[in-house]
A = this chain, B = another copy of it.
Amino acid sequence: MTDAGENKGPSRPATLKDIAQALKVDVSTVSKVLSGGGISVRPETRQAIIDEARRLNYRPHALARNLRTRRSGALGIMLPNLMNPVYAAIVRGAVQRAEELGYVMLVADVDDEATSTSVYLRLVSERRVDAMIIAVSTQSQEFVEAIENNPIPHLFVNRRSKIGRSVTVDDFAAGMLAAKTFAEYGHSRLAFIGAPDELDTAQRRRAGFIKGVKESELPPFIDAVGPYSRKGGYDAMMSLLDAKWGVTGVFASNLLVGIGALAAALERKIKVPEQMSIITLDAEDAIYTSPPLTAIKTSLDEMGARAVDEVDAMFHGRESKDVVIETPPALIVRGSLTRPPKS
């Protein structure tokens, strides 16, 4: 609005050439002033170029630039299911940070192993992305080979892997916090609902839980297993109840599992929290149950954002290490936790 010569709808976006011609300088000069840097130019010339660029509302053509520089400015992220709030949170964090750092984020929702592989190959071999952030849950042989044979900078998020660095939250601490919380509330008959051992997150949460149980000098706990889904939690809770162990405190080591476990308990007319307390994991208040589930909240969005930071750091030559998010898991006390019944 400050310049009378402003044109609202340039039919064709301005190019370096347009600026160069208007000022009768070479496009290379314009390029160097606008992006290149290392060149000496008279202040007047430099300013004229900058002014003209602004006047024409010049924006570099990403494709053209990237073709030359061999950097696409795009990051890819692969995940198994956007409807799972855990992944939604991670992606959201990643997408927002990518925007802040000037990248664009290319999201792929790959529900099975075969698509993981083909999506990875496509994105990489067409050179669509500079790096890939991988949040898929399992790593099939095929997928691992695809990555190894077509390597680009990549990073695992919420998952560790032999074939790359990772960013995770402190799952161990989360597990430990859950156990200690139960101890504090006076529970001693505990159960842990985890996942099959392929899931390294579940392993760490369990290890932390064990440590917490030990440090609090609690008796051994019941170990239940179910996939990280609502149904997994539901089934696990059902078998816990069927076994009649008299458990008073259950740690569901995943949000969906917690929701499913609660549903199962309520269906069996178990009063939560009066007869049984439940603690689960949460991601930015994604829990809508009644009673609301007490949860250990981990910073999933921060994990996503950090993954982008790490990838960015790799580009700037910094060697990447496995990262564990510093923000500690936090206990959010809600309705599903109280002292155990006298019995």
Chain A interfacial positions (CB closer than 8 Å to B): 8-9, 13, 57, 59-64, 66-67, 72, 74, 81-83, 85, 88-89, 91-92, 95-96, 99, 104-109, 115, 119, 122-123, 125-128, 149-151, 230, 259, 262-263, 266, 283-284, 286-290, 292
Contact = CB atoms under 8 A, between A and B. Distances in A.
B290 A289 contact: yes
Contacts of A82: 82, 88-89, 91-92, 95
Given A57-B125, A82-B91, A262-B290, A108 B119 contact: no
A83 B64 CA distance: 35
A108 B95 contact: yes
A119 B81 CA distance: 25
The 4 closest A-B pairs by CB, nearest first: A59-B125, A62-B126, A82-B92, A259-B288
A95 B115 CA distance: 13
Number of copies: 2
Contacts of A104: 106, 108, 123, 128
Contacts of A66: 63
Nearest to A14: B125
A96 B262 CA distance: 31
Given A59-B125, A83-B283, A96-B109, 18 more contacts: A8-B149, A13-B127, A61-B127, A62-B126, A63-B63, A64-B67, A67-B67, A74-B128, A83-B92, A85-B85, A88-B88, A95-B108, A99-B108, A99-B119, A104-B123, A104-B128, A105-B107, A266-B290
Contacts of A96: 109
Nearest to A102: B122
B127 A63 contact: yes
Contact of A63 (B57, B59, B67): B67
Contacts of A99: 108-109, 115, 119
